C-alpha cells in the first residue's frame, strides 16, 4: 500500500495510512514536524467526547485550563451514551454509606488486585491489573462519584447492587445506575416514559448531564473533527505539543500548551488492531457493541504508538471473562449486542437498518456455522466475571479461592469462533435457524424494520432453498443444502428422544419443521476494549523505554492495565487525566 504525504500520521517518524482499514505504524515513513503556525491554541486538547472525554475536559477547565474537545462524529457521547449507565464507583461513596455498605479505597484496591480470584473457566479477573493504575482509581473512586452528582448526574435511588457489573470486586456491592431522566435516548430518538425516568438506567443519564456541565464550564466542543496525528517537539523526543485534525477534508492544527488527552474509546472496530490479541476476530465480527453510533477505531492508540508509546495489559483483552465477547441478544440484524437495541426513530437507524428479533428462549432456534453444522448447546451462557460475593467463601489473597471454584468451562463463543476446518482464521457467520412455529412462540414479526433482509436475514420455503439463499459478504463459502437438512433432521430426532446426543442441550423442546424457514444473523458481538496505551497513575502515557511522554495523557478504553468493565474506570480516569494535564507547566 502506498502511503501518501497527506495520510502520514504526524509525529516522531511514524505513519498510519487509512486508520479505518486498520493500518499500523510504519517506522520508515517520513517525519512531519510541528507546524510553524497553529489554527487554535489552548492549554488542553481532549480527543473524544465520551465517558472519559467529558470528565477530562470538565476537570481540566475546573483546574484553570482552557480546553478544546474534539469529536470525530457529528454527535457527542461515544459508546458511553448507548451504554446501560452502570457506574461501579465505590471506595466509600455517600450512596454506600446511606445503605450501610462499608467500603474504602484500600478495600477497593485490594479487591481489584486480588490475584486469587478466578472464574469457573479458570481465567483470573484481576491478576494482571496494573497496581499503580488501580491505586489511583481506588483513591479517586469515591471522589468522582460525588463529583458526578455535583455535575448533574442522577443515580437511581437504591442501594448499590451487582446489576451490570464486571470485575468490580468481590467484597461489597458497588454498582450504581445513572437514571435516564428526561434526556432523549439515542436508541429510540425520544425520552423514556415519564413514570420510569428516575428508575431506568441509561448511558444518556450519565453523558447528557456531563455534556451540559462541559458547556457551562466553557469547554469548546468541535464536532466532525477527526484527529489524524500527534505533534511532538522532535522525532520520538520532547513533549507532545498538539494535534492534527481533519474536518471534512480541511486540515486544522491545534496547539496544546499543557497537554493532549486521548479519550478515543478503544480499538474494537479496528480489525487488524484487535487481531493482534485474538487472530480469530476477523471481519465477520462486525456487529460491535456501540455501533453505528460510534466507532472504536484505535486511532488514539495508533497515533500514540507512532510517537513511541507502549501498549499495556494484553492479557486483560484476551482473558475469557466479562463482556469482551458476548452472545447476541437479538438476531437478524448486524448489531445484536444484548443490552443495546436500535429502534426506528433513532438518529442512526438508517445505519443500523434493523432492530433485530429479541431472543427469549434459545430453545426456539438452532445455531449453525456457515457450512450448516451445529457446534454447541444453544442455551450456553456468556463468559462470567467477578462481582460482589460471587466467590463464597472468600478470603482475600488466598489460593483457596481458586481451589474452591467448581471448574465449568464456557466454550460457546470459542466454539463459534473455531472455524470450519480450513486454513482461514475466524469462524465465519453464525446463523440462527428457526421456523414458522418458533415465530409464533416468540411473537416475532420477521419483516423489516425488525430484520435486515438480504444480508443478515433470509427466508425460504424449504431448508435446502434457505441454505442456497444465504449469500452475503462474510459467507465466504456456500452453505451446503444437504448439510443443513441433515443438521435439522438430526436435531429434530433429539426433540423426539428428549436428549441432545451431540452437545447436551437441556431437553430440546421444539422441532424445526413448519415452513417458512428462516436464517438470522447470530454471530458473537465484540464489546470491551481492555488493552490500550500504557499509563501511570496520573494518566500520563509511557513509551517503550518506560519513560513518560510529556504532555500526553490517556484514559478509559484507550488506556490499558485495567480489567474492569463499565463506566467507572472511564469517568474516574478522565477526571484524573484532566486534573493532571491542567497542572502541567505551559510549554513554550
Q: Give the DSSP per-residue string, 335-378.
A: ---TT----TTSTTHHHH----EE-S-GGG-EEE-TTS---S-T
pLDDT band at 380 (very low <50, low <70, confident <90, very high): very high
Beta strand extents in 500-587 (DSSP E only): 517-521, 525-526, 532-533, 540-542, 548-554
Rounded CA gap, 257 and 38, in Å? 12
Nearest CA to 297 out of 333, 338, 263, 266 is that of 266
Q: Could you tell me the three cell numbers for 155?
A: 443515580
Is the pLDDT at 8 greater than 70, yes or no? no
Rounded CA gap, 297 and 480, in Å? 35
Q: What is the pLDDT of residues 331-378, one digit of tens each?
A: 999 999 999 999 999 999 999 999 999 999 899 999 999 999 999 999
Is the pLDDT at 9 greater than 60, yes or no? no
CB 125 within 8 Å of CB 117 = yes
CB 87 within 8 Å of CB 567 = yes
Give CA angle at 236 (235, 242), nearest 5°: 75
Q: What is the pLDDT of residue 30?
A: 32
Q: What is the pLDDT of residue 4?
A: 35
Bridge partner list, 337:
none
Is the pLDDT at 119 greater than 80, yes or no? yes
CATH class belonging to 328-380+431-521: alpha beta
In the chain, where the domains are located = 5-79+207-211+218-319+528-582, 86-205, 328-380+431-521
Give CA angle at 357 (512, 294), nearest 5°: 140
Residue with cell 505533534: 231
Q: Is 402 left (phi over 0), alpha (psi -120 to 50) or beta?
A: alpha
Q: How far is CA 399 from CA 110, 118, 391, 404, 450, in A?
A: 15, 10, 12, 9, 49
Q: What is the value of pTM for the model shown?
A: 0.94
CB 358 within 8 Å of CB 329 = yes
What is the DSSP pairing of strand 532-533 with strand 330-331? unpaired
Residues in Cβ contact with 539 at an 8 Å cutoff, skipping those fewer than 6 apart: 261, 553, 554, 555, 559, 573, 576, 577, 580, 581
Q: What is the pLDDT of residue 32?
A: 64
Average pLDDT over residues 93-97: 98
For domain 5-79+207-211+218-319+528-582, give the CATH number: 3.50.50.60
Is the pLDDT at 20 greater than 50, yes or no? no
Is the pLDDT at 167 greater than 90, yes or no? yes
Residue 56 has, within 13 A of its CA and on its CB side, a CA count of 37
Residues in Cβ contact with 481 at an 8 Å cutoff, skipping those fewer than 6 apart: 372, 463, 464, 465, 467, 468
Amino acid at each position: 500500500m502506498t502511503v501518501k504525504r497527506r495520510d502520514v500520521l504526524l509525529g516522531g517518524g511514524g505513519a498510519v495510512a487509512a486508520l479505518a482499514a486498520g493500518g499500523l505504524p510504519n517506522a520508515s515513513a517520513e517525519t512531519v514536524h510541528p507546524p510553524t503556525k497553529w489554527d487554535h491554541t489552548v492549554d488542553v486538547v481532549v480527543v473524544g467526547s465520551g465517558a472519559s472525554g467529558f470528565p477530562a475536559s470538565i476537570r481540566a477547565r475546573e483546574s484553570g485550563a482552557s480546553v478544546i474537545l474534539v469529536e470525530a462524529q457529528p454527535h457527542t457521547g461515544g459508546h458511553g451514551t448507548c451504554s446501560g449507565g452502570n457506574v461501579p464507583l465505590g471506595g466509600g461513596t455517600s450512596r454506600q454509606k446511606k445503605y450501610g455498605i462499608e467500603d474504602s479505597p484500600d478495600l477497593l484496591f485490594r479487591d481489584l488486585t486480588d490475584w486469587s480470584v478466578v472464574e469457573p473457566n479458570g481465567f483470573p479477573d484481576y491478576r494482571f491489573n496494573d497496581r499503580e493504575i488501580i491505586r489511583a482509581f481506588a483513591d479517586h473512586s469515591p471522589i468522582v462519584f460525588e463529583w458526578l452528582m455535583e455535575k448533574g448526574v442522577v443515580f437511581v435511588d437504591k442501594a448499590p447492587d451487582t446489576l451490570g457489573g464486571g470485575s468490580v470486586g468481590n467484597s461489597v456491592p458497588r454498582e450504581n445506575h445513572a437514571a435516564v431522566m428526561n434526556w432523549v435516548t439515542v436508541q429510540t430518538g425520544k425520552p423514556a416514559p415519564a413514570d420510569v425516568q428516575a428508575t431506568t438506567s441509561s448511558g444518556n443519564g450519565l453523558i447528557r448531564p456531563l455534556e451540559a456541565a462541559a458547556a457551562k464550564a466553557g469547554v469548546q466542543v468541535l464536532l466532525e473533527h477527526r484527529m489524524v496525528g500527534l505533534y511532538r517537539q522532535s522525532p520520538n523526543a520532547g513533549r507532545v505539543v498538539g494535534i492534527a485534525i481533519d474536518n471534512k477534508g480541511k486540515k486544522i492544527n491545534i496547539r496544546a500548551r499543557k497537554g493532549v488527552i486521548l479519550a478515543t474509546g478503544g480499538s474494537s472496530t479496528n480489525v487488524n488492531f484487535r487481531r493482534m490479541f485474538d487472530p480469530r476476530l476477523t471481519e465477520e465480527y462486525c456487529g460491535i457493541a456501540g455501533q453505528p453510533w460510534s466507532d472504536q477505531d484505535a486511532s488514539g492508540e495508533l497515533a500514540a504508538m507512532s510517537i513511541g508509546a507502549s501498549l499495556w495489559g494484553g492479557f486483560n483483552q484476551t482473558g475469557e471473562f466479562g463482556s469482551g465477547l458476548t452472545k447476541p441478544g437479538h438476531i437478524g440484524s448486524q448489531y445484536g449486542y444484548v443490552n443495546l437495541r436500535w429502534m426506528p426513530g433513532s438518529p442512526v437507524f438508517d445505519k443500523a437498518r434493523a432492530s433485530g428479533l429479541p431472543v427469549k428462549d434459545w430453545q426456539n432456534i438452532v445455531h449453525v456455522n456457515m457450512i450448516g453444522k451445529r457446534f454447541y448447546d444453544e442455551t450456553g451462557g456468556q463468559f462470567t466475571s467477578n462481582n460482589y460475593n460471587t466467590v463464597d467463601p472468600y478470603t482475600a489473597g488466598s489460593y483457596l479461592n481458586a481451589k474452591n471454584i467448581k471448574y465449568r468451562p464456557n466454550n460457546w463463543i470459542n466454539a463459534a469462533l473455531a472455524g470450519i476446518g480450513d486454513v482461514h482464521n475466524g469462524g465465519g457467520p453464525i446463523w440462527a435457524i428457526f421456523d414458522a412455529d418458533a415465530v409464533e412462540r416468540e411473537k416475532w414479526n420477521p419483516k423489516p424494520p425488525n430484520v435486515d433482509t438480504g444480508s443478515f436475514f433470509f427466508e425460504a420455503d424449504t431448508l435446502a432453498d434457505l441454505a442456497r439463499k444465504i449469500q452475503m459478504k462474510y459467507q465466504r463459502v456456500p452453505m451446503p443444502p444437504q448439510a443443513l437438512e441433515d443438521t435439522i433432521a438430526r436435531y429434530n430426532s433429539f426433540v423426539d428422544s428428549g436428549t441432545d446426543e451431540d452437545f447436551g442441550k437441556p431437553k430440546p423442546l421444539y422441532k424445526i419443521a413448519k415452513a417458512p424457514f428462516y436464517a438470522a444473523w447470530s454471530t458473537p458481538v465484540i464489546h470491551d476494549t481492555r488493552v490500550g496505551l500504557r499509563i501511570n497513575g496520573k494518566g500520563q502515557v509511557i513509551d517503550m523505554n518506560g519513560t513518560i511522554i510529556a504532555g500526553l495523557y490517556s484514559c478509559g478504553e484507550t488506556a490499558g492495565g485495567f480489567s474492569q468493565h463499565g463506566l467507572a474506570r472511564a469517568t474516574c480516569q478522565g477526571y484524573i487525566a484532566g486534573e493532571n494535564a491542567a497542572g502541567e507547566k505551559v510549554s513554550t
